[in-house]
């Protein structure tokens, strides 16, 4: 997959952690491969796995971000209070280590905005954005966050953020872009999302490459 990514012009990859153990697997993978970075996070749907865990970042091979973290009220039986508490803890961890965050927010933007108000200098990306035009506008106007665009954009009617705020993302194994829908998603297909974006925005492919690369390097300092 890494070779296929490289063949398709994807030179740097951020491997996302979704719970404490999974994050350490991401770290080991990143440590063993050139131009692969990792994040430390607990996905909101994994909130119960985080009970009693001390969030201590390793001293070597530091993560480039804290995430996925956030709020997800999509599935019934979610623990709203516990999710908010964990999210605040993760925001503080990011602040303490001067790291950006990868936010996962689903059906929970009003709580999300309320929580981040208490962390004014926070940097991050709202990954896999799937909400309304109105919510997108609020993100763009009230925060400096980037917005994650993935394969979903190629077969839906989601609002498109301006190029200077876009991070391209895989979000594997699902959300494979057109024309590869139905098979496992992989980083190489970032090229197809960039091609779609080029057409959608009426911009040269080279410009899409340049800007989205600059955005990701800027946020993660890679």
d(CA 211, CA 186): 21
Write the interaction track for Zn ion spanning residues 20-59; mark x where CB under 5 A is met and - where it is not.
Answer: ----------------------------------------
| Residue 191 binds Zn ion (CB under 5 A) | no
- The two tokens of residue 71 are 């709020």
Q: How far is the CB of 127 from Zn ion (least distance, A)?
A: 6
Contact range with Zn ion by CB under 5 A, out of 80-88, 98-106, 173-181, 190-198? 98-106
Size of the site for Zn ion (CB under 5 A): 2
Give the three-class secondary structure for 148.
strand
Shortest spacing between CB 128 and Zn ion, in angstroms: 5
What residue number has its CB nearest to Zn ion?
A: 104
Radius of gyration (Cα) for the chain, nearest Å? Answer: 17
CA torsion, ordered 91, 42, 64, 210, to nearest 10 deg: -100
Quick one: which segment of 30-38, 97-105, 196-204, 208-216 binds Zn ion (CB under 5 A)? 97-105
Q: Which residue's CB is nearer to Zn ion, number 49 or number 203?
A: 49
Among 27, 104, 123, 191, binds Zn ion (CB under 5 A): 104
Give dist(CA 96, CA 146) in Å, integer. 21
CB of 142 to Zn ion, least distance (A): 21
Strands 65-72 and 166-168: unpaired
Residues 66-85 that bind Zn ion (CB under 5 A): 68
> Of the two residues 17 and 154, which places its CB atom closer to Zn ion in the complex?
17
Q: H or E segment at 2?
A: helix 2-7
CB nearer to Zn ion: pick between 22 and 195: 22
Q: Which residue has the tokens 């440590």?
A: 31
What are the structure tokens assigned to 183, written together?
């098979």
Residue 172, beta-bridge partner list: none
Residues forming contacts to Zn ion in the complex (CB under 5 A) are 68, 104
């Amino acid at each position: 997959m890494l070779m296929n990514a490289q063949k398709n012009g994807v030179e740097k990859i951020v491997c996302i952690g979704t719970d404490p153990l999974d994050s350490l697997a991401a770290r080991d993978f990143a440590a063993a491969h050139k131009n692969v970075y990792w994040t430390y996070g607990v996905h909101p749907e994994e909130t119960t796995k985080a009970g009693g865990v001390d969030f201590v970042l390793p001293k070597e091979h530091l993560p480039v971000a804290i995430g996925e973290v956030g709020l997800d009220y999509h599935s019934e039986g979610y623990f709203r209070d516990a999710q908010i508490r964990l999210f605040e803890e993760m925001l503080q961890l990011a602040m303490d280590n001067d790291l950006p965050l990868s936010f996962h927010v689903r059906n929970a933007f009003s709580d999300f905005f309320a929580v981040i108000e208490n962390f004014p200098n926070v940097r991050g990306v709202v990954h896999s954005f799937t909400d309304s035009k109105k919510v997108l506008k609020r993100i763009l106007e009230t925060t400096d966050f980037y917005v994650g665009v993935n394969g979903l954009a190629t077969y839906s009617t989601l609002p498109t953020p301006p190029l200077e705020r876009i991070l391209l993302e895989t979000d594997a194994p699902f959300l494979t872009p057109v024309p590869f829908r139905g098979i496992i998603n992989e980083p190489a297909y970032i090229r197809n999302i960039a091609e779609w974006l080029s057409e959608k925005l009426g911009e040269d492919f080279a410009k899409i490459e340049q800007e989205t690369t600059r955005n990701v390097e800027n946020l993660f300092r890679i």
